[in-house]
A and B are shown apart, each in its own frame.
Chain A
Amino acid sequence: MELVAQSLGSEGARMIVGLIAVIALVSVNALFLIWMERKVAAHMQLRPGPMEVGPHGAVQTVCDAVKLMGKELITPAEVDKPIYWLAPVVIFLPVLLSFLVIPFSSTWIIKDMNVGIILILAFSTLSVLSILMAGWSSNNKYAVFGAIRSVAQNVAYEIPLLVTVMSIILMVGSFKLSDIVTAQSGVWFVAVQPLAFILYITCATAETNRAPFDIPEAESELVAGFHTEYTGMRFALFFLAEYTNMFIASAVATVLFLGGWHGPFLPGVVWFFIKVYAVIFLLMWFRWTFPRTRFDQLITLSWKILIPLAFVNLLITALVLKLR
């Protein structure tokens, strides 16, 4: 990728090649993550999981994707059509753009912006808009419920997430993701800021609507939440976005806390992926172990515990930096 971009010698070409690479990565990654989730879940549940298609069911998700593409796109009669059609696209685009600034290694960055982390956080917030669009336009009470819950949840968890990230940025003094990684060439920030790491993982789980915070799609209450009325490829886009969001949240955790591409022997990009998938495994582990929290308890947790803790962490960080 790097070579091609250099030979073309222009920023535009680099972006185009990068975007194509990102789309390929997103698709392959989502297929892999869905397979991984099924395997992780299965092994935690005393069963083998998909085994039939390909070695250990590796091709199963590809077949699922093909099946979903072949499905009829049902548009229920009373939906708000333009918004209903737009929602799956709107959820997917910001997810793609977030990849532009993720530093896979010291050279594998499509565009190393000086506001990288802000860009990712801003785009990840956009997903709530499409959830609201999907829920509202579906004309289904369960879907509206899911959408409303999702908005409340995302607003509540955005704040501690941002405050937590701020404490890292204070330490580095830059919004640039590559700078943050370079600053961790010695000690990873997870050792310096363990509380921030825990806060970040908690908030990221809530932000990506993963169990135990998967309230918007709590199937025992809301059937399938905001995407109840979606079928075929539109549903697949929501699904794809969910897993890609998970990847981005884990990638940000890797960059902020786990030293990004740093690591001995192996090339940086390999280390980066190892760390990302380790964090993703952690999120999957949560999902298949914990019951779901109740909605009001979830919001209480954020406003009464996480936000004060995040501020305390930020203050301590600022104080230590000032005294040093």
Chain B
Amino acid sequence: MIELLGIEEKTYTLNLGPQHPSTHGVLRVLLEMDGEFITKAEPVIGYGHRGHEHMAENRNYTQFLPNLGRVDYLHALAYNQCYCMAVEKLLELKVPERAEYIRVITCELNRISSHLLWFGAYLMDLGAFTPFLYCFDDRENILDLLDGLTGSRLTYCFFRFGGVPVDIDADFVAGCRAFVSRLRSRWDDYHNLVTKNVIFIHRTRDVGIITRDQCIKYGITGPNLRGSGIPYDIRKSEPYSAYPEFDFEIPIGSTGDIYDRYIVRLAEMEQSLRIIEQACNKLPEGPIMAEKVPKRIKPAVGEVYQAVETARGEFGMYIVSQGDVKPYRIKLRTPSFGNMSIFPEMAQDNLVADLVANLGSLDVVIPEIDR
């Protein structure tokens, strides 16, 4: 056809995904290529759409609880926590302190497991296979710990409105401490083998730079935002749960390239370890469930917004209650959607190899974008 019309085709289209080893799920990117360079990248999302928001309108508050673990399966507990906190606000419940501590410990463990998975999978994108298995070896410890407590290894549904259903025991605390010291002993290996690797530095330094202005323009949150040097973390800016009681820092980068985002994520794991350590040390005694939690969750008429800091950024829930057993409307503000929106601009005029590096560095979870 092109030959018939006498048009010289300078660019061509490459269809990356939805089944491609480095799109991490079902993302499809339509690339317009000029040789090895990308002139236009268009993400096609929605392959993993399950309609969580609509499901919420058709089931009661408790029945929607397991859905949250499926929105972002890598940091499921933060999503659990966000929903529980939002409903607790509607019900005006006061969560006991011990329950808040348990929530923080498990959430931070989950955050580390998510970052570890990113670390391994990202290096696999860059062609280094071995770190993946080291990370999974570390991550296995977290999964075992959380498995013993919550009964599941990935899509947790652990928190309840008003607290947590199961108390932690001395074994769990000892396990947490053992894990903290174990992961700390691993940093040297990771830094020597990966952070200081010349090939790795060449692949990530000054590649995929996101400026501060771009971050604000696209609504980027989480480690991607902090990598660009903006110290915004919901745990600090709008403290929730027991976070104000712990001493931790918000690691930030400077230039906003892939290397900075990588360093920020590694540093965040260390900060999470600090939080877990402190929480284990000052774990208060007391009940784990709020008193007078109604058997039938039926909040009064009202609206509530609750945001938490997940491993990927700000996750927000907006719940509109009309005094029914079912929520009238739930809106999920997922961080990956915002983070992904900069991707076409990042990919433009870059190599395919950098496209993979950029996409991986954003740490998007595709089902979370599709919801």
Contact = CB atoms under 8 A, between A and B. Distances in A.
A68 B243 CA distance: 56
B125 A220 contact: yes
Interface in B13-68: 14, 20-22, 36
Contacts of A297: 202-203
Interface string B111-141: 0000000000001111111100110010000
B130 to A, nearest CB: 5
Interface in A268-321: 288-297
Contacts of A292: 126-128, 199
A44 interface: yes
A118 to B, nearest CB: 32
Nearest to A297: B202
Interface stretch (A82-90, A105-113, A211-219): A211-219
B125 A290 contact: no
B352 interface: yes
Given A141-B12, A212-B199, A291-B199, A41 B351 contact: no
A221 B12 contact: no
Contact of B127 (A44, A45, A46, A212): A212
Given A293-B199, A295-B351, A220 B126 contact: yes
Q: Range of interface residues on chain A?
A: 20 to 34
Nearest to A149: B36
A289 B14 CA distance: 31
Interface in B118-175: 123-130, 133-134, 137
Interface in A116-174: 141, 145
A313 to B, nearest CB: 21
Contacts of B351: 294-296
A145 B202 CA distance: 22
Contacts of B129: 41, 45, 288
A192 interface: no
B197 interface: yes
Interface residues of B, number: 30
A292 B20 CA distance: 18
B178 interface: no
Contacts of A145: 36, 352
B203 A293 contact: yes
Contacts of A141: 12, 14
A221 B353 contact: yes
Nearest to A288: B130
B193 interface: yes
A93 interface: no
B36 A290 contact: no
A199 B136 CA distance: 35
Interface in A28-65: 41, 44-47
Contacts of A44: 130
Nearest to A219: B21
B133 A45 contact: yes
A294 B129 CA distance: 16
B228 to A, nearest CB: 22
A44 B131 CA distance: 10
B130 A289 contact: yes
Given A294-B353, A295-B36, A220 B193 contact: no
B356 interface: yes
A289 B128 contact: yes
B366 to A, nearest CB: 16
A214 B128 contact: no
B303 interface: no
A188 B356 CA distance: 44
Given A221-B356, A295-B353, A45 B134 contact: yes
A289 B126 CA distance: 12
A46 B352 contact: no
A115 interface: no
B200 interface: yes
A47 B133 contact: yes
A223 interface: yes
B354 interface: yes
A291 B203 CA distance: 9
B128 A46 contact: no
Quick one: which of A141, A214, A289, A294 has the most chain B CB within 10 A?
A294
A221 B352 contact: yes
- Top 6 closest pairs, chain A to chain B, by CB: A292-B127, A291-B128, A45-B133, A220-B22, A291-B126, A294-B353
26 contacts: A41-B130, A45-B129, A45-B130, A45-B134, A46-B134, A211-B127, A212-B127, A220-B21, A221-B352, A221-B353, A223-B20, A288-B129, A289-B128, A290-B197, A290-B199, A291-B123, A291-B194, A291-B197, A291-B200, A292-B126, A293-B202, A293-B203, A294-B203, A294-B354, A295-B351, A297-B203
Given A223-B20, A291-B194, 9 more contacts: A41-B129, A46-B133, A212-B199, A214-B127, A218-B353, A289-B128, A291-B200, A294-B353, A297-B202
